[in-house]
């Protein structure tokens, strides 16, 4: 049994900004409240079986995610629990009481149900609805009320929610694939020209312009700089500044975190999980078989 790199646990929660009373997440305080309603440690311990592994003497680590997942991009993601993240780390802490205060300040009482959109089929795998069920339950503990809506993946999910760039009501959930370069990954998700841009409404006024929203000027500036800068240390600095900014804005919540995983291989398979990898996550494995080891020969 080999300890492997962290595996992401959870799905991306992203928000609708369409003008109207049914889109309370235009208010940044509602997005912050959603994030603070999430008990990340409990979520990761449960889906990563962390306590069971630890009680059995098997070391396992769990990580919270900000705007870049821990599962890739070595050295680029900021830990929301670290001092380096700054004051916006507070919006990742599980704090139901503060979440309720933020919701009250935003004028939300829970009497109006928020539309919660997810696909109704198996396209995102067996854990997808279970992740959402747990996240919804945590949000309900803070006072959110939901009206669940199951969408057809090819009929209306893709055009209206996945690719709708924020022009819908309520909240939606999906798995988010990222390009292999961290600068491209952040551009893709947080620049209005990106391929997996979900749409933002920075001023919270519900006044869409363009495609269909103007984007966040800070996101636009930093993601463009990451694509034109050749110095990796500077690119990394831009990426970490953006993560701190997004920690407050909470435009979307990627998988809540990750946990180290484990893989099994015959003793005869050598160099398992031994590979060359650059900082941004691609790897090239080289395996070979030693026929002096099991299962070829008994130990």
Calculate the alpha carbon distances from 254 to 173, 232, 258 in Å: 9, 24, 11
The total domain count for the chain is 1
In a domain, residue 215? The reply is: no
Q: What CATH number does residue 35 fall under?
A: 3.10.105.10
- Check residue 210 and give its pLDDT: 45
Counting DSSP H helices and E strands in the chain, the numbers are 8, 12
Structure tokens at 145: 């009320």
State the Cα–Cα distance between residues 59 and 105, nearest whole angstrom: 42
Domain span at residue 97?
2-178+251-264
In a domain, residue 298? The reply is: no
In a domain, residue 143? The reply is: yes
Calculate the alpha carbon distances from 119 to 94, 123, 174 in Å: 27, 8, 8
* Neighbour-count burial for 31-64, b at 16+ CB within 10 Å, e otherwise: bbbbbbbbbbeebbbebbebeebeeeeeebebbb
Instruction: Give 10-residue mean pLDDT values along the chain (299 residues).
Output: 87 89 90 98 92 87 89 85 95 97 93 93 94 97 95 94 91 90 92 90 68 78 95 95 97 92 90 63 70 86
Task: Return the half-sphere exposure (C-beta side, CA atoms, 13 A cut-off) of residue 69.
Answer: 29
In a domain, residue 204? The reply is: no
State the Cα–Cα distance between residues 133 and 128, nearest whole angstrom: 9
In a domain, residue 286? The reply is: no
In a domain, residue 231? The reply is: no
Query: How much is the pTM?
Result: 0.89
In a domain, residue 191? The reply is: no
- Check residue 94 and give its pLDDT: 98
Which residues, at least 6 apart from 65, have a Cβ–Cβ distance to it below 8 Å? 8, 77, 80, 254, 255, 256, 257, 258
- Check residue 280 and give its pLDDT: 47
Count of C-beta atoms within a 10 Å radius of residue 104: 14
Structure tokens at 242: 């953006």
In a domain, residue 184? The reply is: no
- Check residue 213 and give its pLDDT: 62
């Amino acid at each position: 049994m080999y300890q492997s790199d962290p595996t992401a646990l959870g799905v991306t929660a992203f928000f609708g900004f369409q003008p109207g009373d049914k889109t309370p997440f235009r208010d940044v305080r509602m997005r912050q409240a959603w994030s603070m309603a999430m008990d990340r440690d409990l979520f990761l311990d449960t889906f990563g079986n962390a306590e069971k592994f630890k009680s059995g003497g098997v070391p396992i680590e769990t990580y919270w995610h900000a705007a870049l997942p821990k599962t890739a991009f070595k050295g680029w993601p900021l830990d929301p629990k670290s001092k380096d993240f700054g004051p916006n780390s507070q919006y990742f802490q599980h704090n139901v009481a503060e979440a309720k205060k933020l919701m009250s300040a935003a004028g939300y009482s829970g009497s109006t149900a928020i539309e919660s959109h997810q696909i109704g089929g198996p396209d995102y795998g067996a854990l997808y609805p279970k992740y959402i069920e747990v996240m919804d339950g945590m949000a309900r503990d803070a006072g959110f009320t939901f009206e669940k809506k199951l969408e057809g993946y090819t009929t209306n999910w893709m055009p209206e929610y996945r690719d709708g760039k924020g022009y819908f009501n309520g909240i939606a959930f999906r798995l988010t694939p990222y390009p292999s370069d961290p600068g491209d990954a952040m551009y893709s998700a947080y620049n209005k020209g990106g391929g997996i841009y979900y749409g933002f409404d920075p001023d919270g006024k519900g006044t869409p312009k363009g495609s269909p929203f103007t984007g966040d000027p800070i996101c636009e500036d930093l993601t463009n700089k990451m694509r034109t800068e050749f110095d990796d240390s500077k690119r990394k600095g831009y990426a970490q500044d953006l993560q701190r900014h997004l920690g407050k804005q909470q435009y979307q919540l990627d998988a809540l975190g990750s946990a180290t995983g484990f893989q099994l291989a015959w003793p005869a398979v050598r160099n398992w999980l031994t590979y060359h990898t650059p900082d941004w996550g691609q790897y090239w494995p080289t395996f070979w078989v030693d026929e002096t080891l099991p299962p070829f020969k008994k130990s």
